[in-house]
Chains A and B, each alone.
Chain A
Amino acid sequence: MRHSTYRVMILLCAFILLLSGCGFRDIDLRLFVVSIGVDVSEKGPNVNRYSFKMAIPTGDPKSGEVKSLTVTQESESIAEAIRQVKSKVDKELDFGHCRAVLYGESYARRSIRSIQDWTVRRRDIQLLMFPGVAIPTAEAVLKIQPPTERVAGNALVLAISEDGTESPFITRTFAFDLNRKMREIGEDPVMPVITTEGNVLNIDRVALMDKERVKLILNPEDTRLYNMLDRRDIRTNLRTRRDGEILEMNVERSKAKYKIIDGSDGQGEIRYTIRLSGTLEEKQMEEQMTLEELKKIEEAFSQELSKDVTRLLKKIQETGLDPLGFGLRYAGTHWNNDTEMQDWERLYPQIKFTVKVRTKIKSNFFKR
């Protein structure tokens, strides 16, 4: 009875053996593209400069040498560029490990839609890629090899993904998130800005975009505030002055919530509540700390932050962009689906911001 089964199985094994071999390409015959850069080209409005950074594996992990290759190709479309790059290298290009796509600033100010669409559409490119704006050009950023880099092309990804460094200035975003915000009504995309400084990379700004192009690049100070509004638990330091003396606070936990309130007068209000807690890191005052003093210091921090945040929100509002997704929240809390977006468009330009900050200083280290 069972013999027929085995006969079939043996036949199948033979069949499998015959077919073995197609699609079989070993890892050492592949060249991993770790990041892609896109820049404008001087050759014409339709031509772009595409750069591909590839990691070259080293035979001896102890040697510590890191090698990578950046190939630049000017072409009308990225698919064409890849085909042309393929003939420049000896191995098969593999995009499975591509972790970053950088848009040169001037390119990003034009439109990133076609490339972004390509990365989502292409099946071997992950949605977990990190997009970013590169200044001055993507090519220049890709060519930088920081001395701390241990795996080719990894330094940029480590920084941008916050696996390595955790900085309050880095705005983390993924391709899927960018893609979502580019399509969503009522939320606009953002990207981190990567600049070169000698042979290190600096990521301390965020670019606010309309649906497809960069509109405004915030300065580092505003970027930090933006991150605090966007995410939870930003570890940063805040500074305020009290009686002319500088106080530094180390923020350990932060949480920003907001509520949109329809005013009866047709003017809405966005009420932000930010909770901070942390430790006092630096104070220049001589006298001993008391509870009342602590409360006053907390109050000073709160007021300072509240003022800064309101200013930032106003600044964003003036551009007409909505990176924090107020519009989507408005739509999600209103059930009149047909008219809610028109309402919102009327409301947003003159909406009021009130920011309430609650600071809590937990301990002030060892000193009283």
Chain B
Amino acid sequence: MSGVVRNKYFYYLFLLNASINLINFVPGIMLDDRFDGGMMSILLSIPIGAGLLYLFAKLIAKFPGEGLPEILYSTLPGWLAAPMLIVAAAVWYFSSVITLISFTDITDRYINPDIATYLILGGFIVVVGLAARLDSESILYALEMVLYMAVPLIVYMSWRALSSPFFSYDSVRQIITYTWNPPTYQTMAAATYVFTGYINMVVFNRVFHKFRMRHIILIIMMSIATLAVSMLGPIGFLGTIGAGEHEYPAFAAMDSLRIRYFIIERMIYVFYFVYMTLSLLNSIVHWHVSKELIIGVFGFKGSPSPKGDKKRRRAEWWIIGVFSLIVLVISGAINQYMLKDMAIVFVDSRFAGEFVLIGTLIYAAVKRKRRKKA
């Protein structure tokens, strides 16, 4: 019956995060370190990220149909569970804030310089806010639809980029020769972001009842491809030096591609279209997860149902309202440099948070097992 989805939706959550990885703050952070340790952190991030993902998937499979709030409240004392949930929600929410604000900025730069920024951001917030209130299952279906439209286009664009005669493989080779420089924590954290899609499972696990992790090799291959394209793609088009000079390297690289036989001539608009839908979907997913985590603190149980109680609905509206307000306030208050700093803070704290999350889950799993035996 309804409320249960198949395993493939886990891969979609991963895929969404991985493809977002091509344009968000991650390539920027990695390209900053392209001469010192950027490549190395990619290499190192693959075992670390894949390991975290695998561990998480194994752990969450022990709690079928349960979200993080249920797991924490059943195994930890309330005074510990509540702040943990709120911190997790805040970190996850801030990633969507960065996505939304930077995409508004991209829109302002490349598509609609004439329209007021707050209006565009307002439009984003309305769609994201309304959609984040839907039940988890519907969001997953929407995600599936969008991915099936977007991923072929992403593959096409990547192929076009790599086969372009103006793609300078010599620049890429030059960066590869910098592989042996030691990586920094920050770049490592950024590079592991590609795997982070699994964190959404802390809420979406509620609709997975027989979750099992298979084909991790597929995920690893995807991540390698994504990381390579996100870092080396801009270098091939913008050069080893030039890649560091652009605010949004992926967009600048895509502006270097031309479609000869189509009514649209510049690839950047296709790219923009694809990434706007993906960014919106990503923000919807993040808001949904954060909202559910916070609602868990207030003691509403389970995933939202169409006939949910009134109190819960009111709480949802409040949370979404506060979320929207924070985005608007932040977008008014900060500039692009602060945005990048924010992204770095997010990436760093997220990386550390992943270990905390997995540690907590191990504890919870052990405790649950003992209780079952007793």
Q: How far is the CA of A9 from the CA of B133 in the complex (A)?
A: 14
Stretch at the interface among B19-27, B64-72, B239-247, B285-293: B239-247
Given the complex, which residues of B lie within 8 Å of A185, measured CB to CB?
A: 240-241
Binds A, one of B113-121, B152-160, B275-283, B328-336: B113-121
Interface size range on B against A: 35 or more
A332 x B170 contact (CB < 8 A): yes
Known: A23-B114, A177-B166. A328 touches B171 (CB 8 A): yes
State whether B258 touches A128 (Cβ < 8 A). yes
Indicate if B54 sits at the interface (CB-CB under 8 A): no
User: Complex Cα distance A126/B110, Å?
Assistant: 9
Also in contact, A337 and B178, with CB within 8 A (given A22-B115, A128-B256): yes
A23 touches B112 (CB 8 A): yes
Instruction: Give chain B interface residues in 66-125, CB to chain A under 8 Å.
Output: 109-110, 112-116, 119
Asked if A259 is an interface residue, CB under 8 A from chain B, the answer is no
- Residues on B with C-beta less than 8 A from A213 are none
> Are B241 and A184 in contact (CB-based, < 8 A)?
yes
Asked if B2 CB lies within 8 Å of chain A CBs, one says: no
Q: Is the CB of A123 within 8 A of B110?
A: yes
Set of chain B residues within 8 Å of A23, measured between Cβ atoms: 112, 114-116
B255 contacts chain A at the CB level, 8 A cutoff: yes
Residues of B within 8 A of A (CB): 35, 109-110, 112-116, 119, 126, 130, 165-166, 168, 170-174, 176-178, 180, 237-242, 245, 252, 255-258, 260, 265-266, 268, 306-307, 313, 317
Q: How far is the CB of A282 from chain B (nearest CB, A)?
A: 30
**Residue on A nearest B119 in the bound complex, by CB:** A19
Given contacts A126-B266, A332-B174, contact A183 B113 (CB under 8 A): no
Query: In the complex, are the beta carbons of B114 and A25 less than 8 A apart?
Result: yes
Once the chains bind, are A231 and B165 in contact (CB under 8 Å)?
A: yes
| A111 → chain B closest CB, angstroms | 18
23 A–B pairs (Cβ distance < 8 Å), ordered by A: A4-B317, A25-B114, A126-B255, A126-B268, A127-B255, A128-B255, A128-B257, A177-B256, A179-B238, A180-B237, A180-B238, A183-B241, A184-B168, A185-B240, A185-B241, A329-B170, A331-B170, A331-B177, A332-B170, A332-B173, A332-B177, A333-B173, A334-B177
Which of A25, A174, A184, A325 has a CB less than 8 Å from the CB of B166? Answer: A174
Contact B178 A181 (CB under 8 A): no
A residues whose Cβ falls under 8 Å from a Cβ of B: 1, 4-5, 8-9, 12, 19, 22-25, 123-124, 126-128, 163, 174, 176-177, 179-181, 183-187, 231-232, 325, 328-329, 331-335, 337
Q: Which of A128, A174, A184 contacts B240 (CB 8 A)?
A: A184
Q: How far is the CB of B108 from chain A (nearest CB, A)?
A: 8
- Shortest CB-to-CB span from A102 to chain B, Å, is 19
Residues of chain B with a CB closer than 8 A to A19's CB: 119
Question: Is B174 touching A331 in the complex (CB atoms < 8 A)?
Answer: yes
Give the distance to chain B from A332, nearest Cβ to Cβ, in Å. Answer: 3
Given contacts A176-B255, A180-B242, contact A335 B113 (CB under 8 A): no
Bound-state Cα–Cα, A24 to B240, Å:
39
Once the chains are docked, how many angstroms separate the CA of A9 from the CA of B255? 36
CA distance A232 to B237 in the complex (A): 18
Q: A23-B114, A128-B265, A231-B165 are in contact. List 11 more A-B contacts (CB 8 A).
A: A123-B109, A126-B266, A128-B256, A176-B237, A184-B171, A186-B174, A328-B170, A329-B170, A332-B170, A334-B177, A337-B35
